[in-house]
Amino acid sequence: MFKNLSKKEISWIFYDWANSAYTMVVTSTIMSLYFLSSAGAALSGRVADPAVTANAYWGFANSAATLVLVVLSPILGTMADYKGRKKKMFQFFLFTGVVFTAILAFVPSNQWLLLLIVYVITAIGFAGSNIFYDAFLVDVSEDKNMDRVSSLGFALGYIGSTIPFILCMVLVVLATLEVIPLSLEMSYKISFIITALWWIGFSIPMIKDVHQIYGIEPEAHYVRKSFQRLGTTLREIRKHRHIFTFLLAYFFYIDGVDTIIKMATAYGSTIGIGSIMLLIILLVTQFVAFPFAIIYGKLAEKIGTKRTLNIGILTYCVICIVAFFMSPERDTKTLTVMFWVLAMLVGTAQGGIQALSRSYFGKIVPKNQANEFFGFYNIFGKFAAILGPILFGWISLATGKANYGVGSIIILFILGSIIFHFVPDDREM
C-alpha cells in the first residue's frame, strides 16, 4: 500500500487515520445520538415533534461551526503562507479540537445547549486543523502522486476510524443491554475520551515528520500584510479562472456530501432506525469506503480526476433519490433495507469524492500560495456546509417530513455538476 511513498507522505496520510475517529464518533454517530437523546428529552412537551426540532438544532449547530471557519479560513491561510507559520497554526487547532472533544465527556446531559456550544468548538478545531493539513499536501507530495496520496489518506482514515468506533459501539451496545455496569450516558462520555486520545496519539507522526517547504519569507507586520495579500488575491481572482470555477462547483457538491455525513445518523434515527442498527450500518459503511477510496484513486489515474469526480457526484444524486422515498409511513423493515442501500452507496463515493477534490485542487494552485488558496478551498467547502444543514433543517421543519429535507439536497449536486462541466480536464492541463 505504501510502496514508493516517502516517510513524510506516510506521516501525512496518518493524520487522516488520526482525525477520522472524530468524524466517525463525534460528527456522524455517538455525539449526534447523545445530543438527540438529551435535547429530545428536554424539548418533550414543549414542541410538537421533539425529534424533528432536535434534528433542526443539530443542523443549525453544524452551520454555526462552519460559519466561524468561513470567516477565519482565508485569513489564517494567508498568514500560514509565511514560512514557519503553517505547523504552528495546525497544532493550535489540533489541540483545540482534541481538548474540547474530551470536555464533551464532562458536560451534563441535561445541559443540551452547553453541549452544542462545546461541540461547535470541537468542530472548529477539527475543521481548522484540516485547513493546514490539506495545504501540507503540496509540501509532502508531487503533482503526479497527489491523487494516490490523498486517496490513501481517506482510505486509511476509514479503516482507522473503525477501531475507536468499534470500541465505542461495544460500550454503547453493552450499556444499552445492561451487560456492563455503565449507564448509556456514561458510555457516550467514555467514547468522547477514547476519540480525543486516538486523535492526538496518531497525530504525532504528522507533527514530527511533516514540515512546510513552500511559502513566503517572513516579513514585518505580517498580519497586516496578510490582509493586503488576501485583498490582492481577491481582486486578481479572474487571473485564476479555472481555480474559481472549480471552487464554485466544489461549493455546491461538497455541501451535499458534508450535509449527508453530518445528518445521516440523525435522519436514520428520525425515521425509526434503532441506535444499534445505525451503529452497525455505519461501521460496515467504513469497510466499504476503504477499498472504494483506493479504487477512486486508481480510476483517476486511468480516466482522469475530473471524470472520476463526476461518477461520485452522480452516485450522490442517486443517494438523495433513495433517501427521499424513505418515508416514515413505510414499515420499519423496508426502511432499514433502504437505509442499508443508502449507506452502501455513500460508502462507495464518500472518500473518493473528497480525496480527489483535494488532490485536484492541490495540482492547480500556485505552490507558494497553497495555504492561502486552501483557505479559499475551505471557505467554499465550509460555507457550503452552512447551506446544506440549514436547507435540511428548514425543509424538514416546513414540511414536517425529514425525507423531504434530505431529498432537497439533490439540488446542490445538480448545480455542482453543471458548473463542474466547465472545469478543465486534468489530463489536458
The CATH number given to whatever domain includes residue 381 is: 1.20.1250.20
Q: Which three cell numbers stand for residue 42?
A: 428536554
Cell 491561510 locates to 77
Q: Is residue 98 part of a domain?
A: yes
CB 102 within 8 A of CB 192: yes
410-420 and 305-324 are packed helices; what angle lies between their axes, rounded to 10 degrees? 160
Of 316 and 244, more confident: 316
What integer pLDDT is reported at residue 233 of this predicted model? 65
Question: Residue 417 has what pLDDT?
Answer: 92
pLDDT, position 294: 85
Give the range of the structural domain holding residue 91, as residue numbers without chain letter. Answer: 7-210+220-428
Q: Which residue(s) pair with 47 in the sheet?
A: 44
Q: Are the CB atoms for 404 and 324 separated by under 8 Å?
A: yes
Residue reference for cell 471524470:
307
At residue 24, φ and ψ (nearest 5 deg) are -75, -50
pLDDT at 266: 72
pLDDT of residue 196: 96
pLDDT value, residue 218: 61
- pLDDT tens for each residue of 9-37: 889 999 989 998 898 888 877 888 888 88
The pLDDT, as a whole number, for residue 358 is: 82
Helical pair 241-270 and 30-43, crossing angle rounded to 10 deg: 60
Task: Tally the domains of the chain.
Answer: 1
Residue 285: which pLDDT band, with cuts at 50, 70 and 90? confident
> Within a domain: residue 215?
no
Q: How many CA atoms lie within 13 A of 184 on its CB side?
A: 13
Report the pLDDT value the prediction gives residue 126, as an integer from 0 to 100. 92
Mutual angle of helices 146-176 and 275-303, in 10-degree steps: 170
For residue 84, pLDDT over 70 is answered with: yes
pLDDT(184) > 90: no
- The percent of residues in the chain predicted with pLDDT above 90, rounded, is 18
b/e per residue 335-369 (b: at least 16 CB within 10 A): bbebbbebbbbbbbbbbbbbbbbbbbbbbbbeeeb
Contact criterion met (CB below 8 Å) for 418 and 310:
no
56-65 pLDDT, tens per residue?
788 788 778 8
pLDDT at 104: 94
CA pseudo-torsion sign 356, 357, 362, 365? positive
Q: State the average pLDDT over residues 140-160.
A: 81
Is 57 domain-assigned? Answer: yes
- In this prediction, residue 151 carries a pLDDT of 84
Whether 288 is in a domain gets the answer yes
Predicted confidence (pLDDT) at residue 144 exceeds the cutoff of 80 = no
Identify which has the larger pLDDT, 74 or 288: 288
Q: Which amino acid is at 248?
A: L
Least confident of 141-150, 162-171, 314-323: 141-150
Label residue 213 exposed, middle or buried (CB < 10 Å: 0-12, 13-18, 19+).
middle
Grid coordinates belonging to 410: 439533490
CA 41 centroid distance within chain? 28
2 assigned to some structural domain? no
CA distance 268 to 271: 5
Cβ count within 10 A of residue 46:
8
50 pLDDT more than 80: no
Helix residue spans in 136-240 (DSSP H): 137-140, 146-176, 184-201, 204-209, 222-235
pLDDT at 406: 79
User: Contact 427/308 with Cβ under 8 angstroms?
Assistant: no
Residue 28 DSSP one-character state: I
Q: Which of 154, 153, 150, 98 is nearest to 126 (CA)?
A: 98
| Measured distance CA(197)–CA(180) in Å, rounded | 22
Amino acid at 300: A
Whole-number mean pLDDT of the chain? 82
